[in-house]
Amino acid sequence: MVITVVLIYVIRLFQIQILDTRYRNSADNNALYYRTVYPTRGVIYDRKGRMIVSNEPSFDVVVVMRNVKDLDTLAFCKSLDITREFFDSRMADIRNLRKNPGYSSYTEQIFLNQLSVDEVADFRENLYRFNGFSINQRQQRKYNYDAAAHVLGDLGEVSKAEVDNDSWYVQGDVIGKQGVEKYYETRLRGKKGVQVLLKDAYGRRQGSYYNGEFDVEAIPGQNLKLGIDIELQMLGEKLMQNKIGSIVAIEPKTGEILCMVSAPSFSPNEMSGRHRGEHYQELASRPDKPLLNRPIQGTYPPGSTFKTSQALTFLQEGIIDTRTQYPCTGGFVFRGLRVGCHAHSSPLSLNFAIATSCNGYFCWGYYYMIGAYKYGTPQKALTVWKDYMVDMGFGYTLGVDLPGEARGMIPNSDYYDRHYNRSWNGLTTISNSIGQGEVTLTPLQIANLGATIANRGYYIKPHVVSAIEGEELDSAYTTPHYVSVDKKNYEIVIQGMRQSVVDGTCRAANTSDYLVCGKTGTAQNRGADHSVFMGFAPMDDPQIAIAVYVENGGFGAVYGVPIGALMMEQYITGGLSEASKLKAEQYSNRVIDYGEEER
């Protein structure tokens, strides 16, 4: 019995002292303070190596509640430029176990975070007066260019759900909330370190424990290089002042996004620091929705830019060839249905139809495809049509490396069966042929169509980040996706787009410096029409494909074409001529008056 009792005690002591770390941790916590060392967040560069996002010092005011004694609350609030009401509310929130589940009066709690050097200067000078309070240094984002807010995104304090989902975070930490900052959060944030400090009997820090032998260094976040050209981005944002819409430019050979403009926009630095919440609420309340990233979240009728995809489909399916002519007597007129068009010669062939943006030609092509005998039924014909559209990158998200991408809409036969009780045909759905009706795309998808045509039949998934420090880019952003349309048919469409620039609806984009191919769009809307342009240049060695979408801007030639032309010139030549600079000023100063209906 004695031996048994002794063995039990020995086993139990072994468990407590060797196996179970709770008691050792408790003893350590009485003598040691584990200070989190925050890593430097990864820096972001543009395609030419210009640093567009960096870091600057940021300070957190922290408190150990049990050490708060004889506090001069008025002086404390004055030093931090806060009200007494805010002070009382914040202290109550810290003690609230529901809002702050990890609360302990013995451990540091964040009172205020992300203060700038100026905001903390007066408090630091008077810190000796405020028992229980101290300052921890970390970093916050500095956006070096007043542009690309939607692309870059922002940082904000973690929510309880985010803390619960990832043990890396504790209450008071910051996390990417939008854009690149959110999508690449795990690469940018790095790994936290730990500094072990010795405490005295009163909980005061006495210096490093064992000269830092047990410290763990923080590992900086990975740097990112973007495909964005920040000068091109700034020009795009300037041209879109006083307008609603977007510009997306892609390098066709790589799929790298050269610029992504969403208008209206805001300064990215407004969303940095502790006043982020105030600015966010202000922006969220505006009727023009500046927080909406229109290039990937706005879904619009593509209008006549969509006719290029129809031409490719009809050619591949043998519905038309280069000799096929259709009439257009003021539009498509058949069996009591009329789709209007502007004046031009009739009948006409494909190239002239693309150049003049003829509605009639593409309505006839669509009607004959949906009614073609070889498919058997309109349902099967539309399925073939839809499959081509999906293959070209429509109807589903492209998979861009930004959060919140919308998919747009490509209707299928089930959709029309439900709405028309299976009694429909090519006439019922004729608006699809000209990018109206149920068809909607994002501006990114329209730009990607331009890149696909420029490449003569393939695209690489559009992406913002072109390189990640110490890591290969995801193969999805380097692997070509080939469309099931022959290269020869792309060449035919390119000739039509070139003719459109030479003597068609895109004449404002013509230049003697390089060959431009383009297609206008005038997308019908409940209010004024939307002005759309899709194109690429140079024709035989494409460097840029672009989509411009100006809400309620009228004909495609009014805003879409000239803005697109200026953007292509900036990128291809490295700057604007004096004449083009004057045009850029004129278009940036043009104001579109948006009423409530348009908004």
Q: Who contacts 470 (Cβ-Cβ below 8 Å, separation ≥6)?
A: 222
Minimum mean pLDDT range among 135-149, 271-285, 405-419: 271-285
| pLDDT (mean) for 323-342 | 94
Percentage with pLDDT > 70 across the chain: 96
Position 597 confidence tier, pLDDT thresholds 50, 70, 90: low
| pLDDT (mean) for 439-462 | 98
How do residues 563-589 score in pLDDT, each as one tens digit? Answer: 999 999 999 999 999 999 999 999 999
Top mean pLDDT of 31-35, 340-344, 543-547 is at 543-547
| pLDDT (mean) for 106-133 | 88
| pLDDT (mean) for 469-483 | 96
Question: Which domains, ranges and CATH numbers included, belong to the chain?
Answer: 29-226 (3.90.1310.10), 230-265+294-589 (3.40.710.10)
Helix and strand tally (H, E) in the chain?
21, 20
| pLDDT (mean) for 523-530 | 85
Minimum mean pLDDT range among 115-124, 300-309, 475-484: 115-124
pLDDT at 67: 87
Q: Both ends of the chain: CA-CA distance in Å?
A: 87
Positive/negative CA dihedral, 295, 296, 302, 308: positive
The better pLDDT of the pair 57, 209 is held by 57
Of 509, 598, 483, the closest CA to residue 244 belongs to 598
- Give the mean pLDDT of the chain: 92
Residue 453's φ and ψ, nearest 5 degrees, are -65, -40
| pLDDT (mean) for 104-133 | 88
Is residue 507 predicted with pLDDT exceeding 80? Answer: yes
Is residue 93 predicted with pLDDT exceeding 80? Answer: yes
Burial of 7 (C-beta count, 10 Å sphere; 0-12/13-18/19+): exposed
What is the C-alpha separation between 279 and 178, in angstroms, rounded?
A: 15
What is the C-alpha separation between 597 and 599, in angstroms, rounded?
A: 5
Position 260 confidence tier, pLDDT thresholds 50, 70, 90: very high
Is residue 30 predicted with pLDDT exceeding 60? Answer: no
Position 213 confidence tier, pLDDT thresholds 50, 70, 90: confident
Position 97 confidence tier, pLDDT thresholds 50, 70, 90: confident
Is residue 556 predicted with pLDDT exceeding 80? Answer: yes
What is the C-alpha separation between 308 and 392, in angstroms, rounded?
A: 11
Angle subtended by helix axes 578-589 and 560-573, to nearest 10: 140
Is residue 106 predicted with pLDDT exceeding 60? Answer: yes
Question: Is there a contact between 228 and 401 (Cβ–Cβ < 8 Å)?
Answer: no
- Beta strands of 116-192 (E only): which ranges? 133-143, 155-157, 174-176
| pLDDT (mean) for 352-356 | 96
- Beta strands of 154-302 (E only): which ranges? 155-157, 174-176, 193-199, 205-208, 224-226, 245-250, 257-263
Is residue 26 predicted with pLDDT exceeding 60? Answer: no
Question: Is there a contact between 152 and 268 (Cβ–Cβ < 8 Å)?
Answer: yes
| pLDDT (mean) for 247-276 | 93
Is residue 22 predicted with pLDDT exceeding 60? Answer: no
| pLDDT (mean) for 180-205 | 85
Structure tokens at 55: 């870091």
pLDDT at 415: 96
- Other C-beta atoms lying within 10 Å of the C-beta of residue 439: 25
Percentage with pLDDT > 90 across the chain: 74
Q: How far is CA 75 from the centre of its chain?
A: 44
Q: Which is it for strands 458-460 and 174-176: parallel, antiparallel or unpaired?
A: unpaired
Structure tokens at 237: 């944002």
